[in-house]
Amino acid sequence: MLEQLFGSKTRTQLLRVFLQNPETDFFVRELTRRIGGHINAIRHELVNLEKLELVAVVRPPGEKGTQKKHYRLNRDSVLYPELKALFLKSRSLVEKDMVEKIRNCGKFKYFALTGRFLGSDDVPTDIFLVGTADRRKLAAVIKEYESSLGQEINYTILDEAEMRYRMDVMDRFTYAVLDGQKLVFIDEFFGLAGLPGHEAA
């Protein structure tokens, strides 16, 4: 959707990276690795974004030349609030579509978004699933939405027996997820048992 609006997939991906990391400086090759684009196309779009005053050039003290040029989101831009709101709305639509595709990848007793989907960097996974799945199909869906969202997605899938075992032994990873904030789409495992942070979608 945003690619059609902005007329460039590379420009859209760059804006998404900057908006998700508003205080981070990026150099060109790092952006190339993040979005998987061609370096010349990325340089071209960075020039355009700089002209629009959406990104600012940052150079380390005492450094000269393009090799040391870094870019950072310009939060003083008059367009920044509108762009941020637009990308947030777009992200919610992408996430809704992603959830439906994940549902179709298997038979799940529990399905929750957590971690970075809810703004928590201290939760060890972003998608938590209990049940059975076509793992190749699931991996393909995750990869597709990593590209759409412009970020890596960590996901965990456990069968019911392993989930019960982890709970019995008080597995730290599992309880970090269960005790953290999350958005739950399927809960046939706990039956809405009032877990901390449990919010039904």
Output the pLDDT for position 172: 94
Whether residue 120 is found in the same domain as residue 180: yes
| Residue 198 counted as domain residue | no
Whether residue 69 is found in the same domain as residue 104: no
Whether residue 51 is found in the same domain as residue 137: no
What contacts 70, CB < 8 A, 6 or more positions away?
25, 26, 27, 57, 58, 59, 60
Domain boundary among 44, 77, 110: 77
Provide the CB-side half-sphere exposure for 59 (13 A, CA).
9
Domain boundary among 77, 107, 142: 77
Neighbours of 195 (CB within 10 A): 14
Output the pLDDT for position 20: 79
Q: Residue 37 belongs to a domain with what CATH number? A: 1.10.10.10
Domain count, the chain: 2
Whether residue 13 is found in the same domain as residue 41: yes
Residues of the chain with pLDDT below 70 are: 1-7, 60-67, 150, 191-201
Q: Which helix (H) or strand (E) holds 65?
A: none
Domain boundary among 77, 112, 142: 77
Whether residue 112 is found in the same domain as residue 50: no
Query: Domain residues for 109?
Result: 93-187
Whether residue 34 is found in the same domain as residue 110: no
| Residue 87 counted as domain residue | no
| Residue 195 counted as domain residue | no
Output the pLDDT for position 36: 78
